[in-house]
Chains A and B, each alone.
Chain A
Amino acid sequence: MNHLPYIAAAYGLTLAVAVGFSLAAWIRMTRARRRLDAVDPRARAATSPRVAG
């Protein structure tokens, strides 16, 4: 029995779900930060890591 289609489908599905969730999370995070910046630029400091110095 040729197993290649099953292996390709399993890995392809995993890749699609991982990329989908990652992209969706990144887009949502970027959009939220941009909207927060637009409403209150001071909030930017509170959402970013503190810079030493």
Chain B
Amino acid sequence: MDATAIAPNPSRSLHRFANPGRFLRLSGRFLAPLAWTGAILTVIGLGWGLFFSPADWQQGDAVRIMYVHVPTAWLASAGYMGLAVCAVFSLVWRHPLADLAAAEIGPVGAGVTALCLATGSLWGKPTWGAWWVWDARLTSMLVLFFLYLGQIALVRAFDDPERGHRAGAILALVGVIDLPIIKFSVDWWNTLHQASTITLTSAPSMYVGMLWPLLISALGFSLGFAAIVTARLRAAVMERRLRGLLMARAQAGA
């Protein structure tokens, strides 16, 4: 039996799922459940954190800012990782949706990173007595925000969209170096920002009454982020199809 007849070609199967028409049909099916689940989990997580979780013995009620700050911090890094994955798919496999996805993740990721910096600042003032310090964690997160802005600007800076997407993809890949710096900055340097209380390798050092609302709101924020990016990507695919149709009509009429 010919083995090549049954072995799937990886690049072909990748492109099968990248078909814009198939993406529109699939995303049309899961977008509403994704958005509603995200919204409900966010309301539960934030409501729990705001009204039912205990205050911190040192920080008092200011710790409740954690339920919006930490999910945005995780999402800022995860969103950038998403950009980098899109960059690999775009540069290596010329994935038809990867460039569009990267262009749509960028602004949402920048918004989330700005939100992380702003809520961190609002948390820092009552706990540290300062809105901002040039601490390694805060500075590396600010660098991430500038990387997002750079990617957004590069994607839109060229008359030829192909060149813009390529430049944005290269910046997205180069900027990945900032992600481990953000993650380990609190271990590598003596920072004012606290060390991680939740890690994959050890039990969380956080009271369970605070941990659950944090995890639920983080999951809700993540699903909300995915829903917003999916909706933007659906719009971008339809806009591209519309441009193609109008161009074809103009050429047929000429």
Contacts and interface: CB of A to CB of B under 8 A. Distances in A.
Interface of A: 1, 3-4, 6-7, 9-11, 13-14, 17-18, 21-22, 25-26, 28-29, 31-33, 35-36, 39-40, 43, 46-50
Contacts of A50: 25
Interface string B23-44: 0111011000001000000100
Contacts of B232: 25, 28-29
Interface of B: 21, 24-26, 28-29, 35, 42, 46, 50, 60-62, 64-65, 68-69, 72, 108, 111-112, 114-115, 118-119, 122-123, 125-126, 224, 227-228, 231-232, 234-235, 238-239, 241-242, 245-246, 249
B123 A6 contact: yes
Nearest to A40: B245
Contacts, number: 102
Contact of A47 (B35, B46, B231, B238): B238
Contacts of A33: 238
Contacts of B115: 13-14, 17
Contacts of B235: 25, 28-29, 31-32
Contact of A6 (B25, B62, B245): B62
A26 B60 CA distance: 38
Given A10-B123, A39-B242, A46 B68 contact: no
- 5 nearest A-B pairs in the assembled complex, by CB-CB distance: A32-B238, A25-B231, A49-B29, A28-B235, A29-B235
A49 B32 CA distance: 12
A22 B123 CA distance: 25
Contacts of A39: 242, 245-246, 249
B238 A3 contact: no
A37 to B, nearest CB: 10
Nearest to A46: B21
A48 B28 contact: yes
A50 B41 CA distance: 28
B24 A7 contact: no
Nearest to B55: A3
Contacts of B228: 21-22, 25
A12 B126 CA distance: 17
B111 A36 contact: no
B58 to A, nearest CB: 12
